[in-house]
Structure 1
Amino acid sequence: MDQHRPDPARDDAFDRLRDADPAAGLEPDTASLDAAVRERADRPAGDELARARAARRPGRWGAVAAVAAGTLLVGSVGGYALGSREGTGTGSRTAAAAITLSDATTGAAAGAAESSAAGDTAARSSVPDAPAAEGGTAMSSRLLPWFGGHTVFTAQGLSDDTGTAQAWAYDPAQAFSAETAAQVAASLGLAGEPRLEGGIWLVGPQDGVDASLQLQPDGVTSVSYYDPSLDPFACPPSLAVPESGVEGQDGGGQGEPGKDAVVPPDCTPRELPPAPQGDAAVARAREVLAAAGVDADRYEYEAAESGTPELAYVSAFEVVDGQRTGTIWSVSLVGDAVQSLYGALAPLVPLGDYDVVSENEAVARLSDPRFGASGGGVVAASVGGVAVDSDGAATTEPAPAPMGEPTPPPSVTPGSPLGWPVVEVVLTGARLGLAQHTLPTGATVLLPAYELSADDGTAWSVVAVADGELDFAAGR
């Protein structure tokens, strides 16, 4: 079960946040996430040597990969007409938003996120007003009915009709191979033969200095590529050299034998060619995906501002039957070249029709511990006075009142009623679609799911597959 608050009115100022939900792990704004990582990594230290060390990026490419990989497969949508939509422009969106199931296995649906420890739960906080990991920015929730309280769901005006709906699975067996790794590497101009190490197909050195590619053995065959030489923000790693080869303060180079000195890297900004922007960036990203063996027509494209003319970001969202699946490709361009690429290569295969419960039964499932008590996301997160919901809807919130000195809670009066807060939610709308889910085997599927909404715009999601078609014993 998951809950989010969709946007009742679009706001152009927050178009790039439409697909971001730091609470429930829906489709994030990859450009903003990457820019935030870069900005934090580039904060100056106290002196020249400290700044040089802080600017080192030997492991930075992995952090950026984790951000992009973590956005790869978080969330999903419903319906099917594979690749029937194609976006245009820098912010085209014709497909419906993804449906997300925030259960224990959905976070693992992002195979790449698993490998980078960047699953959907990493961005969620279950405690109100929890501080952010960096910068001191508070991320708070307006409502957490599962935190110190209980929620009662009531259906109003919904249907009792059952039915069937198609389910789909990603088939990594068709994509995880040396041939696939070689094809993607060749399309990116990366030399080298694929080699299998630790169950992962690798091309190029994995040192964060030279261009490299990884093909993961997860449920969606995640692929990641990064070229530090085209990263406007990257610095080469520091070098350790013998003290005897480093000039001392007196210029005599008389270091203590047997010890190494750290030579800070040269972090002078490099001259890089301008990248295509807007429609031109989208067109280039389509070419990149097609060359990598991806059906580029299956995706809806959005280009985002990078803040620098040398770099362009494009996100490609897989679409089925007019809805996004939650599978996302992220392409970063420098000049006409690819600086980084992240995505999923496993094709979708049909699983046939599955029985689905009625809308009223779906509401009842929200109170069923088998479906509704497996976790959840923050209803609406607030960052810097701007509330962001699951569809990226952003509204300005009033500044919080200043907090006084902490005091002990009041004493409990003998015989007084004991607090047991209950939130009552009346659900009046339902949308049947698909949600991404990872089976106990690690396979990733798109299964029928409902998005249930209340008149105030709050929405909850729950699996729609009938009990008889679910294996409750799996994983015991």
Structure 2
Amino acid sequence: MNDDNDLDPVARLRAADPAAGVEPRPGFADDVIAQAAGSAMPAASADVADLANERARRRPRWLVAAAVAASVAIVGGAGFGLGTAAAGSSELAAAPISLGAAQNGATQEESAAFDTGNRKMAGSGVNDLMMPYGYGRNTFSASGLATTGGAAAAYAYDARAASNPETVAALAAALGVEGTPELKDGSWTVGPQDGSGPALYVGLDGTLGFSYSDPGINPWNCGPAVIEPVAPDDATIPEMPVCEPPVADLPSEAAATDALRSLITAAGRDADAFEYTSETWEGAVTRMAQAWPVVDGQRIDQAWSLELSKAGIVNASGALADLVSIGDYDVVSEQEGFERLSDPRFGAQMTAMPFAVTEQPAASAGEEWVPPTEPPATPSAGSSVAWPVNDVKIVSARLGLSSQWQPDGSVLVVPAYEFTDADGGTWSVIAVTESKLDFATD
């Protein structure tokens, strides 16, 4: 690591945060926590920048676009009821392959401690599989994988072809956003960008990612709270009023997917080239829908997303750029791809954890975890150094496509392998031969 922390991932992440230094309005954190729990706490108004609006206004949109594929899994852990999927054809496309980290949901920040009796972490957010799958020390085994390589098609997002006022204006009109597209500070914008009304933001990233929101019909925007004053001698703490959206009939799956299809068509894309999913959850007042680009019978991990209420589209996001062919790439065999799982140059990532991991039971079956009453004993001289290594048995391989972001911001969709292990977890590595991989770091 040098003095500039160029190789420190945490420092780089902090430096890249476009909302760094932005102070959230009073009560913003309480709002977020309350909404995640199923209700929202209203916050007092103040002349301070709203963190959500600032991030929506200033951050590169490719950060949002890259997170779309993970969003369903993240909220899925909160009790989503998945709806049906529909596409231009009757057969469902293969699931998208991601070259990123595990998409099993948000990081659990619950209490945990080391269970000295069973020599493992324990607590409300921990289970037996977290250590082997979480620490990245793995040995891989497999048998029967193909040993011959071949070639596979690759694609790229043509962002420049769609980056024009006509495309942006057409999408804005479909969303009901008034105004003329303006190209300023590295993005196209239509409508007010301060959260005061419906607004469209289109970033100049490799997928031409856009985001739209209408705060006027967001059912969770309940306005500032009115708190009764407390007498100085009153020792009781008044309950904060709960902001609950009005009870309303949910839009249908068909309504949500039709709205998304209309947006895709308005942006000049072929709506039949996507596969659609829709879901909601208990207590919801809106319905979500996603549109996955389908190429060669497989979903691509850059989905469009829409949230619909009875009043209209609350928010939406997606990639305006279309996919174009860039020819075939030579690919390694399944066996060579498997060997890359143990090659640090390819940074093998678990892209889906076994279901047992995502459940996160509070304790082992039939056992009640007892919280510790004192810290662990000091290790004695010559104690063994714990170095758990997980034995991962690969049982199948699938060649598909995955997005790969280039240093200049452009986006390729290239051949990649997805390996499934005996526990149901999946691991992914790029399948392109080394002759077409640029390992340079500059």
TM over 0.5: yes
| Cα separation, 2, equivalents of 1:397 and 1:54 | 48
Secondary structure at the residue paired with 2:337? helix
Confirm or deny that 1:356 pairs with 2:352: no
Aligned to 1:472: 439
- CA pair 460-172 structure 1, distance change in 2 beyond 3 A: same
Query: Residue deviations 1:331-361, cap 9 Å, x none?
Result: 1223363222111111111111111111111
Aligned to 2:342: 367
Q: CA deviation at 1:419?
A: 4.0
Secondary structure at the residue paired with 1:283? helix
Aligned to 1:88: 86
Specify which structure has the bigger relative contact order, considering alpha-carbon pairs within 8 angstroms and separated by 6 or more residues: 1
User: Between the two proteins, what is the percent identity of the paired residues?
Assistant: 35
| Cα separation, 2, equivalents of 1:226 and 1:276 | 18
Secondary structure at the residue paired with 2:304? strand
Q: CA deviation at 1:216?
A: 0.6
Q: 1:227 aligns with which of 178, 194, 214?
A: 214
- CA pair 139-145 structure 1, distance change in 2 beyond 3 A: closer
Aligned to 2:97: 99
| Cα separation, 1, equivalents of 2:130 and 2:276 | 33
* Greater alpha carbon shift after TM alignment, 198-207 vs 269-278: 269-278
Q: CA deviation at 1:421?
A: 3.2
Aligned to 2:395: 428
Confirm or deny that 1:171 pairs with 2:148: no
Structure 2 residue identity aligned to 1:366? L
Structure 1 residue identity aligned to 2:419? L
Alignment of 1:316-395 (within 5 A): 316-335=291-310, 337-372=312-347, 379-380=353-354, 381-382=357-358, 385=361
- CA pair 329-436 structure 1, distance change in 2 beyond 3 A: same
Q: CA deviation at 1:138?
A: 2.9
Confirm or deny that 1:138 pairs with 2:125: yes
Q: 1:53 aligns with which of 44, 47, 50?
A: 44
Secondary structure at the residue paired with 2:345? coil
- CA pair 469-52 structure 1, distance change in 2 beyond 3 A: closer
| Cα separation, 2, equivalents of 1:42 and 1:448 | 43
Aligned to 2:375: 407
Aligned to 1:202: 189
Judge conservation of contact 1:74–1:100 (CA < 8 Å) in 2. Answer: no
Judge conservation of contact 2:171–2:263 (CA < 8 Å) in 1. Answer: no
Secondary structure at the residue paired with 1:230? coil
Query: Residue deviations 1:338-395, cap 9 Å, x none?
Result: 222111111111111111111111111111111136x6568454466399xxxxxxxx
> Mind listing any 5+ residue stretches in structure 2 that lack a counterpart?
1-30, 72-83, 114-122, 226-240
| Cα separation, 2, equivalents of 1:184 and 1:139 | 44
Judge conservation of contact 2:404–2:413 (CA < 8 Å) in 1. Answer: yes
Structure 1 residue identity aligned to 2:338? V
Q: CA deviation at 1:95?
A: 2.0
Aligned to 2:137: 150
Judge conservation of contact 1:171–1:220 (CA < 8 Å) in 2. Answer: yes
Q: 1:123 aligns with which of 106, 113, 130?
A: 106
- CA pair 399-35 structure 1, distance change in 2 beyond 3 A: farther
- CA pair 57-125 structure 1, distance change in 2 beyond 3 A: same
Q: CA deviation at 1:165?
A: 0.8
Judge conservation of contact 2:415–2:431 (CA < 8 Å) in 1. Answer: yes
Confirm or deny that 1:442 pairs with 2:398: no
Aligned to 2:253: 278
Query: Residue deviations 1:240-267, cap 9 Å, x none?
Result: xxxxxxxxxxxxxxxxxxxxxxxxxx99
Q: CA deviation at 1:436?
A: 1.4
Query: Residue deviations 1:422-464, cap 9 Å, x none?
Result: 3332323111111111112211111111111233323221111
> Mind listing any 5+ residue stretches in structure 1 that lack a counterpart?
1-33, 45-50, 76-85, 108-119, 131-135, 239-265, 388-395
| Cα separation, 1, equivalents of 2:91 and 2:361 | 26
Q: CA deviation at 1:145?
A: 4.1
Aligned to 1:217: 204
| Cα separation, 1, equivalents of 2:94 and 2:321 | 22
Q: 1:183 aligns with which of 170, 178, 190?
A: 170
Q: CA deviation at 1:36?
A: 8.1
Two-structure CA RMSD over aligned residues (Å): 4.4
Q: CA deviation at 1:224?
A: 0.9
Aligned to 1:81: none
Confirm or deny that 1:304 pairs with 2:300: no
- CA pair 137-204 structure 1, distance change in 2 beyond 3 A: farther
Q: CA deviation at 1:281?
A: 2.9
| Cα separation, 1, equivalents of 2:367 and 2:413 | 40
Query: Residue deviations 1:115-172, cap 9 Å, x none?
Result: xxxxx89934799959xxxxx9736672444766732222211111111111111111
Secondary structure at the residue paired with 2:68? coil
Q: CA deviation at 1:60?
A: 4.8
After TM superposition, the score normalised by the length of structure 1 is 0.65
Judge conservation of contact 2:98–2:402 (CA < 8 Å) in 1. Answer: yes
- CA pair 423-138 structure 1, distance change in 2 beyond 3 A: closer
Aligned to 1:6: none
